[in-house]
Amino acid sequence: MNAAVAPSQLNDDLDQRIVAHAADARWYPSPRPGVERRMLDRVAAETGRATSIVRYLPGAEFSPHRHDGGEEILVLEGVFSDEHGDYPAGSYLRNPPGSSHRPYSTPGCTLFVKLWQFSAGDTEAGRIDTLHTQWRRGLVPGLHVMPLHDFDGIGTALVSWAPQTVFSPHVHPGGEEILVLEGVFRDEDGEYPAGTWLRNPRWSRHAPFTGEEGALIYVKVGHLGASLLMPQ
């Protein structure tokens, strides 16, 4: 495990476009043995807004703790658990502000985690098995969408792109965040294979498409510049 000290701030300027490729990832130890993190953005050391890929080794666990700013989790690999249940790959979890739990993983797991990114008034807990949830037809042929959560202009979804799908150029007034889960996502600025994390700032514009591989992506829109909870 990488013993480097984790940065207290990373990609904290929300007006900057960020592309983080999995091949360039650095892993940092967490405060608990057996848990390490690939940090994507962070505004304060262990106490504030953060977006990370988190990896639990088999048998790793955290002590009970509270999430004053809420926590959002997408299980990418393995099985994540807490005292409320077991969540295999494909599980999407929302632990609202003020919730607490004791997380662990018996076989090991990899998670996409967002902390302190709930709006005031957004108190909805969520447990979605995305592997057994129906998809909705998207706006163009070859596109299918699975909404995960919507609140006050902030939307979160999985989007499945069939091979050779093309979306028209469009603008994201509230910004856009993407984690490529499968395949290769593309736009006029580049190619983004599985494991790539992108953050496009407010009022950014692009024309996304896929090639022969297709793609599956996690998407959040409307949250950059939104009034989110902040640590006191």
Q: How confident is the model at residue 3 (pLDDT cuts 50, 70, 90)?
A: low
Q: Please identify, among 128, 163, 197, the residue that sits at the C-terminal boundary of a domain.
A: 128
Are residues 217 and 160 part of one domain?
yes
pLDDT at 2: 43
Sign of CA dihedral 93, 40, 163, 143: positive
Which of 75, 95, 128 represents a domain boundary (last residue)?
A: 128
Which of residues 86, 107, 128 is at a domain's end? 128
* Mean predicted lDDT score pLDDT of the chain: 94
Q: For residue range 121-130, list pLDDT tens digits in order.
A: 999 999 999 9
pLDDT above 90 coverage of the chain, percent: 88
User: Residue 208 CB: number of other CB atoms within 10 A?
Assistant: 23
39, 122: one domain: yes
Predicted TM-score (pTM) of the model is 0.95
CATH value at residue 206:
2.60.120.10
pLDDT, tens only, 184-216: 999 999 999 999 999 999 999 999 999 999 999
60 assigned to some structural domain: yes
- Domain limits at 166? 132-221
Tokens, residue 86: 């077991």
**Residue range 4-57, pLDDT digits in tens:** 788 889 999 999 999 999 999 999 999 899 999 999 999 876 678 999 999 999
Domain membership flag for residue 63: yes
pLDDT of residue 113: 97
Looking at the domain assignment, is residue 83 inside a domain? yes
For 62, residues 6+ apart whose C-beta sits below 8 A from its C-beta are 32, 35, 102, 103, 104
